[in-house]
Amino acid sequence: MALAEPAATGRPVATRGGGRRLRICYLVPGHGLLSTVGPSRNVLSLARALSAYADVTVAFRYRLEDRVPDGLQLIELEPEKRPARVIDDAAMRGIGLAEFARYVARLRRFVRDSFGRFDVFLEKSWILSGHLSAYGLSRGIPGVPVENVVPSAARHVGAGLAKRLRVEIGRRLAGPALRRVPVVLAETEQLKAQIVEVWGVAPERVTVVPLGVDRELFRPRDQTEARRALGLALDRTILLYVGVLDETHTLDGIIDAVLTLRPTGLELHVVGDGPRRASYAEKASTSGGTVILHGRVPHTAVPIWIAAADLCLAPYEPRAFATGALGYSTMKVPEYLSVGRPVAGSPSARMRELLRDGELGFEIPADAASWRAFLERLPDREQLAAMGRAALRHPQPSWDDTARGYLTACERALASLGR
């Protein structure tokens, strides 16, 4: 793969023989397209950045919104399977064994029929991570698995034996597939260590490429203007969570702590949707307006919500991760920091790295007792604002930085076939 400099942009374009642009398919089998939630947003942001260098097509199981992403080629793998009720972008929830087998067969057929149409696949992590990349490799189309988590059956402890068994079987099948491909992309060093430990992938085959931040969207904004735009009180200490409401991101501890202490002048605002929303709403109904759920908002409004906050939250359930430690890129944290707001997140090496050992925020265990202790000694608003200003001195990676790392991984995958 060669890199040519186009006069229009001054940026390198990945080319194949004869000057043709590299053709990449970003395959997302485990998600439906819903641009307001994290996994979909990350895929779309990366695809747009990659499109400056190559021809990019994104393939989701189905589309969960009416609007087609601007400037991207989109494939719906199973549009007839769109659910009537949209909770988040998870596309495997409730799928039975027979339906799953049929879907895998369709995915394999899609990969097989793509020979000559695409030069390389990016395979977004899902229950059979690496399976499609290994399958394509054996048919002359290299694939690069893009991992963001090593699944843990313990995350689904309340979902029944069948669900936990399916997750465990999927995890065991993923290992051999991932060990067959020439390169695996991991979002963090912590996740790389988990991939090596749990799936037995050789360390030299795992490349760490951090996810980027849209720095034009997630930029410093005035807090007073943001609060006025959203109709929020100017004098309150506002804690904010933005993201999916699921088993991985646990808000029970912080909500219970707020309900117990009811700190004067403090509000907890929750922006997002997901399967845990109903249980959080039930608790919020007893808070007297101290805990407010706003549901899903347009992605372009998220930075305004962040700017309105004094402290942003990133609590995680340790059981959601195979080794009990956060390995996620946890995109919400870099986005919070890029707007200039400090963060309170779950203790982990990854969080410590992002928060620079406490300079830019706090590590708080997810349980209610730990949150109560933290709220009792919560710094004042000016101290929190100073931490937010410090965050702006450490710019986060851009999506263009990420795209260049992905192109290098694509080059490695193509080289494995002598191309």
Domains of the chain: 2-212+398-415 (3.40.50.2000), 223-391 (3.40.50.2000)
Cα of 313 vs its chain's centroid, Å: 15
Give first-to-last CA distance, the chain, whole Å. Answer: 8
What per-residue confidence (pLDDT) applies to 144? 97
Token pair, residue 277, equals 């929303």
Query: Could you give the CA distance from residue 352 to residue 340 in angstroms, rounded to a whole number?
Result: 17
pLDDT (tens, 9 = 90+) of the chain, 419 residues, equals 444 333 233 345 556 555 679 999 999 999 999 988 888 989 999 999 999 999 999 999 999 998 888 888 999 999 999 998 888 888 888 788 889 899 999 999 999 999 999 999 999 999 899 999 999 999 999 999 999 888 765 554 455 555 666 667 777 789 999 999 999 999 999 899 999 998 999 999 999 999 999 999 999 999 999 999 999 999 999 999 999 898 888 999 999 999 999 999 999 999 999 889 999 999 999 999 999 999 999 989 999 999 999 999 999 887 776 666 666 768 899 999 999 999 999 998 889 999 999 999 999 999 999 999 999 999 999 999 999 999 999 999 999 999 999 999 999 999 988 77
Output the DSSP codes for 124-184.
E--TTTTHHHHHHHTTT--EEEEES----GGGGTTS-HHHHHHHHHHHHHHHHHHHHSS-E
3 state DSSP class of 332: helix
Name the burial class of residue 222, with classes exposed (0-12), middle (13-18) and buried (19+) by CB atoms within 10 angstroms of its CB: exposed
Predicted confidence at residue 1, as pLDDT, reads 45
